[in-house]
Structure 1
Amino acid sequence: MKFGMFMMPSHPPGENPTLAFERDLQLIEHAEKLGFDEVLIGEHHSGGWETVPAPDLMIAAAAQRTQRIRLGTAVVNLPYHHPFEVAERMAFLDHLTRGRLIFGVGPGALPTDFMLFGLDPNKLRPMMNESLEIITKLLEADEPISYDGEFWKIKDMFIQVKPLQRPLPLAMACGISGNSVEQTGKYGMIPMSASVFSPAGADMLQRQWAAIQESASRHGTVVPRESWRIAQPVYVAETNEQALEDITRGATREYHEYFFTLGLKGLFEDYPGQPIDEITTEQLKRKMGWLVGDPPTVTKMIRELHDGTGGFGGILFITNDWADQGKWMKSMELFARYVMPNFQGTAQGLTASWNALEEKARLWRAAIDAAGGIDKVMVNNLPKFGQDSIGRVAQAPAAADQA
């Protein structure tokens, strides 16, 4: 399983944006050092909380600070940009990252953003579809192409710098609309889904995956299950109580001041009669399925989510500014040390070796006790201990009796 980060990024209004961007870049560097696989960065233009308007520029900066970790857009909102410009910039960016780019796309979801551009929300998805068709042709074509669509028209256009990766990995933010899963299957894209950690949430994800596979089958593409990414808030601390305490202030503020203002109150209809401003962080965690707790708890939650969906290929941390930088970095370190190995097989050999040693040591101790204690065994069998392995020390009692 792969592990990455999805950075909207989100910071409380009123902070110094220069320092906030620097913290984001430091988290990307830290993620690479800890062995995370990828970081994907969002695009937003309004609202005060989500502050990166150009994820490609953020990726270019991060590429200069890293060597291995893959960097991606999550997402470029295609209706906001001319498709030729997007294709050319992404191909160029793939070279700047030395072939580490993941190109994620979407239609745009923040109402104040598409209002800023004067776009009809009912036209966002068809605009994205046309743009995506043009972009994929431009990325692959070795000769000029033309396109006469409802929203975009190009004539004899050609990008002179092709992506370093051929093909360039494409990803789609899969929401509740049928269009996103249809396009994912049509182009064989990496699906990026948001999870609600509940039986209903797992069922929704299963239906989403089935729709992607049905679309892929119709279009003759392949979307392997191991390419599927699930994005979810993740925070790990030494104890469950400490984890919830660490994020309570930041999470409560972000949801009450930002997400509820955007109209997400309907997600909490499970609490009829409770004023929205009285919803607690514990209720948010339970309802939204945050992967928050100590390492064993988070490991268990990921296993349950994996089993409930039928399996996926990666978890993306939704990195929110809910705790100070030091605590976020500590959370990432705890995850890398104690959660990742359970899904990547990196500690299986060590665990098996330790279990084998424990069994041999048990036999050794039993043999020593039967021989009359360590002093007697060492005096009467010292040469034998020098020659035999621990696994053969069970012969020691017989030798001691003969002595």
Structure 2
Amino acid sequence: MKKGLKWGVFSLSQYPDQSFRVEGLESDMKLFELAEALGYDTAWVAEHLFSTYGIVTSTQVIAAAVAQRIKRMRIGTAVVVVPFNHPLRTAADFALVDCLSRGRLNFGIGRAYQPHEFVGLGVPMDQSREMFDEGVELILRAWGEGKITFDGTYWKVPEPIDVLPKPVQLPHPPIYQASISTESFANAAKHGWSVQLAAPFTYRTYREEWIPRLGDELRRYEKALVEHGHDPAKLERMILLPFYCDTDGARARETMRGPVEWFYEKVASHQQTSAGGVVRGYETTMIEGRKAREMGYLAFDKLIEHGACIAGDPQECIDRLKRLKEELGITEFVLWSNMGGMPPVRAENSIRLAWEQVAPFV
């Protein structure tokens, strides 16, 4: 295995059959425990609301649970949706997670993209970027200072208050920004944050050009990091990939086909507003995502062709991952094998085979 390259596993806790939800959550924990025993570096979790797209409604709850089941791996959030909670609650909860895990938290943040979640919470989706910026500023102040006050547009702290506990990691846990748009890469560069990349979403936006377009964004990101006085070598480029490995490549693709098609159908339906319009701040992803669906780019065979989903035998997986590593400078591959109701034993077999016969050769 190449020095410095990290490997993670991801779960969105997707159970199309909700009668399986209790067993499913336990299977997620067992997947993370297996990954730790094998040698993976990070367990990544996410949050979503009001849909079988993902039933983890709180990354702080699931991260705290994971912290008690694994003892070595880091625990990453992909992502904490900043506009959905009071920033002081977010700061306090994740400082607590960092304490419970003895300093193993990777704090991945984003602003969400599914209209029905904003509607359900009564949060203005067209103001999500402004809420994100203000919320993160308040979180970082809560972690890094003693008593604080804050006079923002969305949140106010009129009387001095000390947010406890403080994180174990100083000055704070590593921050990753979920990045698709040019604006998100620019913001991450300004602050000196690592980036979270996700093949499913970048591909929906740029289709067959997703890898070169992502490469362009990353080159601009690195240049901007230097201009803002940050060292790119100290930051991470993590990428999330739908991934399935089997000794038989054709069988791997047939195993992954149903779960991937279920996932993309959910994504396509959940990024539409009830009126069918486009929300300010989401123009590119909404318009291009709709085009990708209408043009047939979300068909499983297209996803495989353009590398947005990796499913194959070990050598096929190695070849795909090597290309991404070389063209994008990836520092951590995060493998997602249990999407869309994939049977737990198959997801476990995939990450085991990937660790033994893929990771050492990438």
TM-score normalised by the chain length of structure 2 = 0.86
Match of 1:95 in 2: 99
Q: Give 2:348's aligned residue.
A: 329
Aligned equivalents of 2:262, 2:217: Cα separation in 1: 31
**Contact persistence 2:324–2:330 (CA under 8 A):** no
Match runs of 1:25-44 below 5 Å = 25-44=29-48
Contact 1:225 1:313 in 2 (8 A): no
Aligned residue pair count: 333
**Pairwise mapping of residues 4-403 of structure 1 onto structure 2 (< 5 A)?**
4-141=8-145, 143-155=146-158, 156-167=160-171, 168-176=173-181, 178-195=182-199, 200-224=209-233, 227-256=236-265, 258-262=266-270, 263=272, 264-271=289-296, 280-287=299-306, 289-309=308-328, 311-319=329-337, 320-343=339-362
**Aligned in 2, Cα 1:15/1:255: closer, same or farther, shift over 3 Å?**
farther
Deviation at 1:137, TM superposition (A): 1.4
Moved more, 293-302 or 184-193: 184-193
CA distance in 1 between counterparts of 2:290 and 2:348 reads 31
- Provide the C-alpha distance between the structure 2 equivalents of 1:218 and 1:157, rounded to a whole number of angstroms: 35
Give the superposition deviation at 1:24. 1.0
2 CA distance for matches of 1:299 and 1:226? 24
Amino acid paired to 1:144: K
Alpha-carbon distance in 2 for matches of 1:208, 1:318? 23
Alpha carbons of structure 1 residues 215 and 6: separation in structure 2 relative to 1, 3 Å:
farther
Q: Which amino acid aligns with 2:240?
A: A
The answer as to whether partners of 1:39 and 1:71 remain within 8 angstroms in 2 is yes
CA distance in 1, matches of 2:340, 2:11: 10
Q: Is the 8 Å Cα contact of residues 95 and 165 (structure 2) preserved in structure 1? A: yes
CA distances 1:268-315 after superposition (whole Å, capped 9, x unpaired): 4544xxxx9xx7532332246211100000000111122222x12011
Pairwise CA distance, 1:70: 0.5
Q: Taking structure 1 as reference, are residues 255 and 15 closer, same or farther at Cα in structure 2, changes over 3 Å only? A: farther
**AA of the residue aligned to 2:250:** E
User: Residues 16 and 341 of structure 2 are in contact (CA less than 8 Å); yes or no, is this contact kept in structure 1?
Assistant: no
Q: Distance in 1 between matches of 2:125 and 2:65?
A: 32
Q: CA deviation at 1:46?
A: 1.4
AA at the equivalent of 2:228 = H
CA distance in 2, matches of 1:52, 1:137: 27
Label 1:39 to 1:224 Cα distance change in 2 as closer, same or farther (>3 A): same
- 1:7-51: per-residue Cα shift (whole Å, max 9, x none)? 223221433321111111111111111111101111111123211
Q: What is the aligned partner in structure 2 of residue 365 from structure 1?
A: none
Q: Retained in 1: the 8 A contact 2:239–2:333?
A: yes
CA distance in 1, matches of 2:259, 2:300: 10
Structure 2 unmatched ranges of 5 or more? 273-288
Q: State whether residues 40 and 72 of structure 1, in contact with CA within 8 Å, keep that contact through their aligned partners in structure 2.
A: yes
- Tell me how large the CA RMSD over aligned residues is: 2.1
Q: CA deviation at 1:218?
A: 4.1
Greater RCO (Cα-Cα under 8 Å, separation 6 or more): 2
Q: Deviations over 1:231-275 (max 9, x none)?
A: 11111001110101212232233333x22323544224544xxxx
Q: CA–CA distance in 2 between the matches of 1:303 and 1:73?
A: 25
List, as ranges, runs of 4+ consecutive aligned residues in structure 1 with deviation greater than 6 Å. Answer: none
Contact 1:185 1:222 in 2 (8 A): no
Amino acid at match of 1:154: V
The corresponding residue for 2:282 is none
Deviation per CA, 1:150-196: give whole Å up to 9, x if none.
111113122232111113211111122x3321221122212001235
2:225·2:231 contact (CA, 8 Å) conserved in 1? Answer: yes
Task: State percent identity of aligned pairs.
Answer: 26
Contact conserved, 1:199 with 1:308, CA < 8 A, in 2?
no
Question: Aligned to 1:183, what secondary structure does the other structure show?
Answer: helix
Unmatched tracts of structure 1, length 5 or more: 344-403
Please state whether the residue corresponding to 1:326 is helix, strand or coil.
helix
Shift of residue 77 of structure 1? 0.6
Equivalent-residue separation in structure 1 for 2:129 and 2:43 (angstroms): 25
